[in-house]
């Protein structure tokens, strides 16, 4: 089995109903954290991990994503004429090598497992990564890079893992865990969105996966699971039942759930505070708010 991971799937077909009305005309993945769309964070993380082929599973109304990764000759020539080299440099991050990016339509919203399955012909027989752009992870070494390095050693299915309060189990794929070795945790089973009392542990799957092609074959046979959708979690759990290995990887970093409003706001503040050009001003404002709050008590 090859241990180099060069392909990543980005499931971006979701409707983003939690962010209506914004997502009526703007794909959720284009919503900006400070000044960069969510998808840019995911692409940068993939690049840092050595990914060369980027596969987007999209749906109706996601055209803005394709435009975002296209050249914009009018804008570029305008900036060049005005000598705005810094801005041109910023735009470079959106450049994709010709043929490096592919878009596949998921015609029906049948779930994350189905979205990944839609990309099966482009994956063929190689290990691949899956990145859910809603999960934004701030880390010194990007999360997927940490996982790709571990995968080079073990060559088995791997999911990013993080402890969550047990009462939040119904929002995650939850892991039934065995022995631990550094950041790696042997996974004995996986359940998608169980009730707190049924959750096998408090270790949750976060949206980064490195999977072996057998998982795609499992998806061929899957029927709908939790929420009536075809679940990626179930296809990975099937691999465990067939006695292949799956590991949870406790990544180093801070994860923000940008799939909900509160998580998005927190990420906005955290990423704003991490920026040299914004920190002082934002911090002063937060202090001011704290004062107002205290005075009101």
Binding region for ligand G1P (CB under 6 A): 112, 132, 135, 172-173, 192, 204-207, 232-233, 259
Nearest one of 117, 106, 121, 124 to 222, comparing CA atoms:
117
Q: How far is the CB of 193 from ligand G1P (least distance, A)?
A: 7
Measured at CB, which residue is nearest to ligand G1P? 173
Nearer to ligand G1P, 16 or 259 (CB): 259
Residue 74 CB, shortest distance to ligand G1P, in Å, is 36
Sign of torsion, CA 126 239 170 164?
Answer: negative
Cβ closer to ligand G1P: 55 or 232?
232
Q: Is 277 exposed, middle or buried (0-12, 13-18, 19+ CB in 10 A)?
A: exposed
Smallest separation (angstroms) from ligand G1P to the CB of 233: 5
Residue for token pair 């707190």: 196
| 3-class DSSP state of 90 | helix
Closest distance between ligand G1P and the C-beta of residue 288, in Å? Answer: 33
SS3 at position 174: strand
Nearer to ligand G1P, 7 or 114 (CB): 114
Nearest to 205 by CA among 167, 166, 171: 171
Q: Which is nearer to ligand G1P, 67 or 163 (CB)?
A: 163
* Residue closer to ligand G1P (CB basis): 57 or 132: 132
- Nearer to ligand G1P among residue 123 and residue 205 (C-beta): 205
Q: Which residue has the tokens 């296809």?
A: 235
Smaller CB separation from ligand G1P, 148 or 258: 258
Rounded CA gap, 59 and 15, in Å? 8
* Continuous segment of H or E residues that includes residue 178: strand 173-181
Q: Which residues contact 148 (CB under 8 A, 6 or more apart)?
A: 5, 49, 50, 129, 210
Nearer to ligand G1P, 38 or 206 (CB): 206
Minimum CB–partner distance for residue 112 and ligand G1P (Å): 5
| Least gap, CB of 163 to ligand G1P (angstroms) | 13
Whole-number minimum distance, CB 1 to ligand G1P, in Å? 24
Determine the 3-state secondary structure of 129 from DSSP.
Answer: strand
CB of 224 to ligand G1P, least distance (A): 13
The kind and range of the H/E element at 143 are helix 143-154
- Count of alpha carbons within 13 angstroms of residue 203, beta-carbon side: 23
Is the previous residue joined to 21 through a cis bond, with omega within 30 degrees of 0?
A: yes
């Amino acid at each position: 089995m090859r241990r180099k991971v060069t392909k990543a799937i980005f499931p971006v077909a979701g409707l983003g109903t939690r962010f209506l009305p914004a997502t009526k005309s703007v794909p959720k993945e284009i919503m900006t954290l400070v000044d960069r769309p969510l998808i840019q964070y995911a692409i940068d993380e993939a690049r840092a991990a050595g990914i060369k082929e980027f596969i987007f599973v999209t749906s109706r109304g996601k055209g803005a994503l394709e435009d975002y990764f296209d050249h914009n000759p009018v804008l570029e020539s305008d900036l060049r004429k005005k000598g705005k080299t810094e801005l041109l440099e910023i735009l470079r991050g959106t450049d994709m090598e010709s043929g490096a990016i592919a878009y596949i339509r998921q015609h029906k919203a049948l779930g994350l497992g189905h979205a990944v399955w839609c990309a099966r012909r482009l994956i063929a027989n190689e290990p691949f990564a899956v990145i859910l752009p809603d999960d934004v992870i701030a880390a010194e070494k990007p999360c997927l890079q940490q996982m790709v390095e571990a995968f080079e050693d073990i060559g088995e299915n791997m999911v990013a893992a993080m402890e969550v309060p047990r009462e939040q189990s119904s929002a995650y794929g939850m892991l039934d865990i065995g022995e631990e070795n550094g950041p790696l945790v042997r996974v004995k089973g996986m359940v998608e969105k169980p009730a707190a009392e049924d959750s096998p542990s408090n270790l949750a799957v976060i949206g980064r996966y490195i999977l072996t092609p057998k998982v795609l074959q499992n998806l061929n046979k899957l029927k709908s699971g939790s929420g009536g959708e075809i679940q990626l979690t179930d296809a990975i759990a099937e691999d465990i039942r067939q006695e292949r290995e799956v590991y949870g990887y406790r990544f180093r970093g801070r994860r923000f759930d940008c799939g909900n409003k509160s998580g998005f706001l927190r990420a906005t503040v955290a990423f704003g505070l991490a920026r040299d050009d914004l920190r002082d001003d934002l911090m002063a404002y937060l202090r001011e708010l704290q004062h107002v709050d205290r005075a009101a008590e």
